[in-house]
Amino acid sequence: MSDLSTNVENIAKVERPRAVRESISEMTEIVLPNDANPLNALLGGRLMHWIDLAGAMAAHRHSRAYVVTASIDHLDFLVPVRVGDFVVLRSSVNRVFRTSMEVGVKVWVENYRSEQSQHVSSAYLTFVAVDAAGNHLPVAQVVPETEDEKRRYEGAGRRRDIRRAESALRKKKAT
């Protein structure tokens, strides 16, 4: 099958818009010694990996397609996470453009011994829906329903404009 006919079929497969709630994903990890540095604190790279996985789950759920990570915005680590803690990652699609989606991931640490929960980090990731050959696929629009979802939807548009402006500036400096 030619790339053109594959793309035509993919465009025809774009489905009805979906509510944000249909993309919500949650994953929980326990921090083990292999996940930590010599101070028994979670490695930043391990948390970044988990954030990528959590974001991909929301993007997969929404697009019902393979997705690849295109970018991740700024990431801060707000509190340390220790061996034995639970890390809870919650994600959902904030906005769909054409073939890309912004996904928000919020990370919490739960210490089950002290029954405390703290915000560890938040991240915005951009994923692109692709087929098995790597061709970009159009994605169904997302419908924000709550005030918080509407706020994140609008924010995603502003963040996309900033990302595009920064990318254009980098390209200009490279020439």
**pLDDT-based confidence at residue 70 (cuts at 50, 70, 90):** very high
Q: What is the pLDDT of residue 1?
A: 44
Q: What is the pLDDT of residue 13?
A: 59
Domains assigned to the chain: 3-174 (3.10.129.10)
* Whether the predicted model's global pTM rises above the 0.85 cut: yes
For residues 49 and 109, give the distance between their C-alpha atoms in angstroms, rounded to a whole number: 16
Q: What is the pLDDT of residue 54?
A: 98
DSSP code per residue over 46-83: HHHHHHHHHHHHHHHHHH-SEEEEEEE------S--BT
